[in-house]
Amino acid sequence: MAAGETIDVVRRGKLVAQILSVGSWRAAPILARPNTSGWVGLDELRTRAGRCFDRVAAGETVDVVRGGRLVARIVSAASSR
């Protein structure tokens, strides 16, 4: 995903989420996983995308991490408007 790029996520015919590139606001490495509901690894997103998007559709923001670094943020379509 290129910096500044946004991907719309449509489930069951409805826009439910947007995946936002972290671009230049990339966070410091994530060293621990104290709260499992706040972020997912890229591999987990690939295998359990439906569950992640259900959480986002319910209003939660999910950060996507790859190699210990934040690479994207998934936000509810309702909150991104």
Judge contact between 39 and 56, C-beta under 8 A: no
What percentage of the chain carries pLDDT values higher than 70?
77
Q: Please report whether residue 1 resides in a domain.
A: no
Q: What is the pTM of this model?
A: 0.76
- Which CATH number does the domain housing residue 52 bear? 3.40.1620.10
Where in the sequence is the domain holding 31, given as residue range(s)? Answer: 6-76
User: For residue 71, what pLDDT is reported?
Assistant: 87
Q: What is the pLDDT of residues 50-81, one digit of tens each?
A: 999 989 988 899 999 888 888 899 999 887 55
Lookup: tokens for 63: 């950060």
Domain count, the chain: 1
Instruction: Return the number of other C-beta atoms located less than 10 Å from residue 19's C-beta.
Output: 20
81 domain-assigned: no
Q: What is the per-residue pLDDT for 22? A: 80
In a domain, 42, yes or no: yes
